[in-house]
Amino acid sequence: MNIQHINVKFYIQNPESVSLESYNKIFNTWIQTHRTEEMLVDVADYLHVHHGPGIMLIGHEANYSLDNTEGRLGLLYNRKLQENGSNEEKLAQAFRAVLTAAQILEKENDLQINTKEVQVILNDRFLFPNTEETFKTLKPDFKNFFDKLYNGDAYTFERNTESRQRFILDVKADSAPSTESLLEHLPAIAESVHA
Amino acid sequence: MKASNPLWQKQVFESAPEEFIREIETYETEIQLRKQGKMDEKVFAESRLRRGAYGQRYDNGQRWDGTETQTLPFPSSSTELTKGMNTVWDAPGMQRIKVPYGGMNPKQLEVMADLAEEYSDNIAHVTTRQDFQLHFIHIDDTPALLRRLASVGMTTREACGNSVRNITGCPFSGVCSTESFDVTPYADALTFFLLGHPDIQDFGRKFKIAFSGCRDEACGLVNMHDMGAIGVKRIIDGVEKRGFELYVGGGLGTVPHQAKLFADFVSEEELLPTTQAISRVFARLGEKKNRNRARVKFLVAQLGIEEFKRLVTEERAILTEDPRWTAYLSNLNKLDETPLRPAGKLAEDTPRPEGFDNWYKTNIWNQKQENYSTVTIALPLGDITPNQLRALADIARTYTNGTIRTTVDQNIVLRWISNADLIEVYSALKAVGLGNAGAGTIVDITSCPGTDTCKLGISASRGLAGELKKRLAEKSHTLDEAVQDLHIKVSGCFNSCGQHHISDLGFFGVSRRSGNYTVPHFQVVLGGEWTHNGGSYGLAVGAVPAKRIPEVVERLTGRYVAERQKGEHFKEFIQRVGKVEIKKLIDDLTKLPTHDEDPSLFTDWGDSREYTIGDIGVGECAGEVVSHAEFGLLAAERQAFEAQIALDEKQYQRAGELAYLSMKQAVKTLVQEQFYDVPDDNDRVAEEFRTRFYDTKIFWDEYAGGKFGHYYLRAHEKSNESYSPDEAHRRVEEALLVIEAAHTCYGKLLATKNTVKPFGI
Ligand code: SF4
């Protein structure tokens, strides 16, 4: 199964002290200064929506957002464009993107990332139906990837079994490595990963 | 772009209406043609608009970043592939989805949720025409998205462009105590009668239709429509008959017009043919070149209502009988709704959850069916998340037979809720953030997309609406009752999509210069009437910087509370106090400080960038005016393209047949320039072509003479024969030449202006 359209969400450690309104300006500055690898297009503000997508930085290849789905604020990376490469490489690409953004936000702004928990979503119901079969097929790839990411530390993952949801994997680690350390342990990505 | 897009094409949707799927296949072919450079960008633009695929802000590849205008380097920019004039292929766009009269079911809500997650930005948006919209969609994703909608009976066809837009209707039809009768089946019948109808393909601009069950309430907003129908009953020969008070020529936009009474009683049997006749007169006589004057309101104003009526009556008299005009009347009950749960009373002794009483006061409407209520879900700015849509689908399934409507004030209504279930329903809605009170009150603010996503937006209507809502909600419990009932509506520009003319306090985006800077403003429009189907329009009293509009609301409502006479409505208050006095009240707010004195005024609500009007693009609201003939010739090209594919796939019979049909389509298009209603019969088209274009040598080529016409006529003679591979090849080659010749001939017709178009022949 060729994984595509990976979404990765790292939760925010200190949601109550994050001034979400200020991210309109922050994300606009990111567009101005070409802060990400992806081409950035616009900022969309949905802070008025209950448990909604929060504040979004819309890009061509991917979106970044401070997402509040299910009332849990997190930094979400949503890869829209297809990619080449192995599943491990594609996971590594999405994690690298979100962790790099997380690092910037941690350094320059008021949020801290909770690295103990991460959610991975495969955003295509046709290719990745939310079934046990998909889970079984992809489990070795995920295991392989998270073994490396958490560098031998204990972790568990679980599939969200609500049938109408997309394929969602909730990963919980025992330790809370820094974003730097997670970035260091990411598997290497070949140049050809981007389609 | 989704990796699964081509796979959805192979997915068999048994539930999808065949014509919806055919239409999507046609669209998909057009996307391919455009990508191969075989379709003109202007024609493609109008064609995608007619599938609801709209442009979005910054799709010209430019965006002001607060200090300078950046070029957005979309990959397709390098190939210069566009999806319309100055519209970059890869730039995200908006997809509008038609929801006739707002009627939806739980399955449709669930599909909307999936689409918002997979293709859009995790938000589905209810519009002021009861449609849904998804933003930030890649054009390549649209065919798959359309297929998934078709699988639950939804279409985007003619959601935009110069066509009949979504037909709206009261969300309370069938359950409302003030209605004459349920207008739902009529709105439904007219929707599907007009969808793709040849007589609506040649409009100079859009045409909006609304249905209402009564005169006095606001729900249908008939007065502001190109055509509005209010259900009325009349005794004729001792028998009660259903019919419609029919209005034409209403509209908001830059120059608002109140609709004129066309007929005080159009019987139910005459509703469809009368609308068809109106459409034909509009297509024939409506302005085509100047889109600012191309709505039917200008035609009615120019001709006068009596002359317009005379022309429509004349047109009606010569229409060919269509069985669909009345077929639906034998099955009017097909859309009747029934309750799922037994009628019951609201339990007096059950403890009420916090917030219930306020919600009950504003969001519940008693149905005419005793002990049932409608529940309005007040959506903030019309936005709803995928998880909320799913939760709503569950609630609708648990408490109703899936009876859901969207509303023109960007909310959703659940119908047939037993009063005994109201507390449970409230708790279920509240749990997912959908239990907000205040539906239909001052906090329930309507707004168009404005500068958030609209190419024409001047000011941030959503930003302002959100800010006003926040401030008013904070003190909603202390607001005077008279103020609570006021309506606020905001448009991002004079085009009035937020319907600001028909609200008590309306605002539309404008800008003003201050030194070297431009400052976002809103024009203040006061005293419009929401009830009586949008009974009268408000008047502009002055432009105020966007950031000071909350202060305007504060002052005006304060003055109203302090000085209103007993029972005096806001509209009457404004009239009594007078524009001069009102203007004085806000005059100081219109004075601009310098940028140094107060830089905050130089940004807009919800947008941290310093303000510019440089991002305003060319609107697609009206679409491109593409003639009927251009569309006809495009259809011929599409068929020829499909014939080529069939040839590649060695399906020779199919290739030959398609090639012949493409020639027929091309020549029929020319014939229609002289004889619009030529029947779609192969022999008849050939005969008309021969006498009108071949024998007269109008179709003759300067060098090749009658050769291309002869190709077609010979293909017609042999059209019942089978095709060998060679013949199929030849026929495809010939088809391409005939289509080219048809283009040339059409060009000549235009140049000599010798096209006569008597519709009724
Ligand atoms: S009113 Fe203006 S800004 Fe608002 S949607 Fe219409 S065209 Fe766009």
* B603 CB near ligand 1 (under 6 Å): no
Please tell me the CATH code under which domain B441-615 is placed: 3.30.413.10
Question: φ and ψ at A34, to 5 degrees?
Answer: 50, 60
Is it true that domain B625-761 has CATH number 3.40.50.150? Answer: no
Taking CB atoms and an 8 Å limit, are A51 and B387 in contact across chains? yes
Residue in chain B nearest A33 by alpha carbon: B65
In chain B, which residues have their Cβ closer than 8 Å to the Cβ of A195? none
- Mean pLDDT for B474-499 is 92
Ligand 1 pocket test: pick from B94, B461, B525 the residue with the most ligand atoms within 8 Å of its Cβ. B461
Question: What size, in residues, is chain B?
Answer: 761
| Single-letter amino acid code for the residue at B446 | T
What residue ranges do the domains of chain B occupy?
6-150, 176-331, 356-431, 441-615, 625-761
Can you spell out the DSSP letters for B357-411?
Answer: HHHHHHHEEE-SSTTEEEEEE--GGGEE-HHHHHHHHHHHHHHSSS-EEE-TTS-
SS3 A115: strand
So what's the pLDDT on residue A190? 74
Q: What is the pLDDT of residues B130-183, one digit of tens each?
A: 999 999 999 999 999 999 999 999 999 999 989 999 999 999 999 999 999 999
So what's the pLDDT on residue B500? 94
In chain B, which residues have their Cβ closer than 8 Å to the Cβ of A61? none
| pLDDT value at A194 more than 50 | yes
- Report residue B19 as tokens: 């014509």
Q: What is the pLDDT of residues B626-672, one digit of tens each?
A: 778 888 888 888 888 888 888 878 899 999 999 999 999 999 999 99
Report the atom number in ligand 1 closest to the C-alpha of B492. Answer: 3
| CA atoms of A60 and B89, how far apart (whole Å) | 12
β-bridge pairing B446-447 and B488-491: parallel
Q: What is the pLDDT of residues B673-725, one digit of tens each?
A: 888 888 999 999 999 999 999 999 999 887 778 889 999 999 999 999 899 98
Higher pLDDT, B285 or B753: B285
| pLDDT value at B573 more than 90 | yes
So what's the pLDDT on residue B756? 36
So what's the pLDDT on residue B758? 31
- Mean pLDDT for B34-61 is 94
Angle between helices B422-431 and B386-399 (to 10 degrees): 170
| CA atoms of B570 and B624, how far apart (whole Å) | 40
What order of strands is seen across the sheet that includes strand B124-126?
B53-54, B93-97, B132-137, B124-126, B383-384
| CA atoms of B477 and B473, how far apart (whole Å) | 8
Percent residues over pLDDT 90 in chain B = 76
Residue in chain A nearest B111 by alpha carbon: A164
| CA atoms of A131 and B370, how far apart (whole Å) | 45
Helix runs in B508-605, H state only:
531-534, 549-563, 570-577, 579-590
SS3 B734: helix
- CA distances A187 to A86, A139, A146, A150, B415, Å, are 11, 17, 10, 11, 54
- Work out the burial of residue B369: count CB atoms within 10 Å of its CB; fewer than 13 is exposed, 13-18 middle, 19 or more buried: middle
pLDDT band per the 50, 70, 90 thresholds, residue B361: very high
Question: What size, in residues, is chain A?
Answer: 195
Q: Yes or no: say if A45 and A114 are a contact pair by the CB < 8 Å rule.
A: no
Q: What is the pLDDT of residues B315-342, one digit of tens each?
A: 999 999 999 999 999 999 999 999 999 9
Alpha carbon nearest to ligand 1 atom 2, residue? B493
So what's the pLDDT on residue B647? 81
* H/E run at residue B260: strand B260-267
So what's the pLDDT on residue B531? 84
| pLDDT value at B761 more than 70 | no
Report the atom number in ligand 1 closest to the C-alpha of B451. Answer: 3
- Work out the burial of residue B331: count CB atoms within 10 Å of its CB; fewer than 13 is exposed, 13-18 middle, 19 or more buried: exposed
SS3 B718: coil
Residue of B348, B392, B343, B387 lying closest to B369 (CA atoms): B343
SS3 B722: coil
| CA atoms of B736 and B641, how far apart (whole Å) | 9
Centroid of ligand 1 to alpha carbon of B210 (angstroms): 20
Q: Yes or no: say if B689 and B709 are a contact pair by the CB < 8 Å rule.
A: yes
Can you spell out the DSSP letters for B76-104?
Answer: GGGGT-BSSTT-BTTS-EEEEE--GGGEE
Centroid of ligand 1 to alpha carbon of B481 (angstroms): 31
| CA atoms of A69 and A119, how far apart (whole Å) | 12
Query: DSSP character for B70?
Result: E
pLDDT band per the 50, 70, 90 thresholds, residue B622: very low
Taking CB atoms and an 8 Å limit, are A44 and B608 in contact across chains? no
* H/E run at residue A42: strand A40-46
Residue of B483, B638, B665 lying closest to B564 (CA atoms): B483
| CA atoms of B669 and B662, how far apart (whole Å) | 11
In chain B, which residues have their Cβ closer than 8 Å to the Cβ of A25? 608
Q: What is the pLDDT of residues A101-124, one digit of tens each?
A: 999 999 999 899 999 999 999 999
Ligand 1 pocket test: pick from B129, B448, B502 the residue with the most ligand atoms within 8 Å of its Cβ. B448
pLDDT band per the 50, 70, 90 thresholds, residue B619: low
Report the atom number in ligand 1 closest to the C-alpha of B450. Answer: 3
Q: Do domains B356-431 and B625-761 have the same CATH topology?
A: no
Give exposure, B233-242, as e/b (b: 16+ Cβ within 10 Å): eeeeeeeeeb
Q: What is the pLDDT of residues B500-531, one digit of tens each?
A: 999 999 999 999 888 888 899 999 999 898 88
- CA distances B650 to B177, B663, B729, Å, are 63, 20, 10
Q: Yes or no: say if B499 and B446 are a contact pair by the CB < 8 Å rule.
A: yes
**Which positions in chain A have a beta carbon within 8 angstroms of at least one beta carbon in chain B?**
2, 4-5, 24-25, 28, 31-32, 39, 41-42, 44-46, 48-53, 56, 58, 60, 63, 67, 69-70, 80-82, 123-127, 164, 166
| pLDDT value at B755 more than 70 | no
So what's the pLDDT on residue B676? 86
| pLDDT value at A72 more than 50 | yes
- Report residue B356 as tokens: 């219930």
So what's the pLDDT on residue B329? 97
So what's the pLDDT on residue B625? 64
| pLDDT value at A191 more than 80 | no
Q: What is the pLDDT of residues B98-107, one digit of tens each?
A: 999 999 999 9
Helix runs in B649-724, H state only:
652-674, 682-689, 707-717
Higher pLDDT, B666 or B730: B666
Centroid of ligand 1 to alpha carbon of B273 (angstroms): 33
Is it true that domain B176-331 has CATH number 3.30.413.10? Answer: yes
- Mean pLDDT for B354-366 is 97
So what's the pLDDT on residue B621? 56
ipTM above 0.95? yes
pLDDT band per the 50, 70, 90 thresholds, residue B543: very high
| CA atoms of B375 and B384, how far apart (whole Å) | 16
Residue in chain A nearest B467 by alpha carbon: A48
B356-431: what fold?
A: Alpha-Beta Plaits (3.30.70)
Centroid of ligand 1 to alpha carbon of B299 (angstroms): 23
SS3 B756: coil
- Report residue B309 as tokens: 């009526």
pTM here is 0.89
Taking CB atoms and an 8 Å limit, are B122 and A80 in contact across chains? no
pLDDT band per the 50, 70, 90 thresholds, residue B757: very low
- Mean pLDDT for A152-163 is 96
Question: φ and ψ at B299, to 5 degrees?
Answer: -65, -45
Rounded to the nearest angstrom, the gap between the alpha carbon of residue B406 and the centroid of all alpha carbons in its chain is 14
**CA torsion, ordered B493, B494, B498, B502, to nearest 10 deg:** 150
| CA atoms of B73 and B176, how far apart (whole Å) | 53
- Work out the burial of residue B746: count CB atoms within 10 Å of its CB; fewer than 13 is exposed, 13-18 middle, 19 or more buried: buried
So what's the pLDDT on residue B759? 33
Q: What is the pLDDT of residues B192-236, one digit of tens each?
A: 999 999 999 889 999 999 999 998 886 788 889 999 999 999 999
| Single-letter amino acid code for the residue at B398 | T
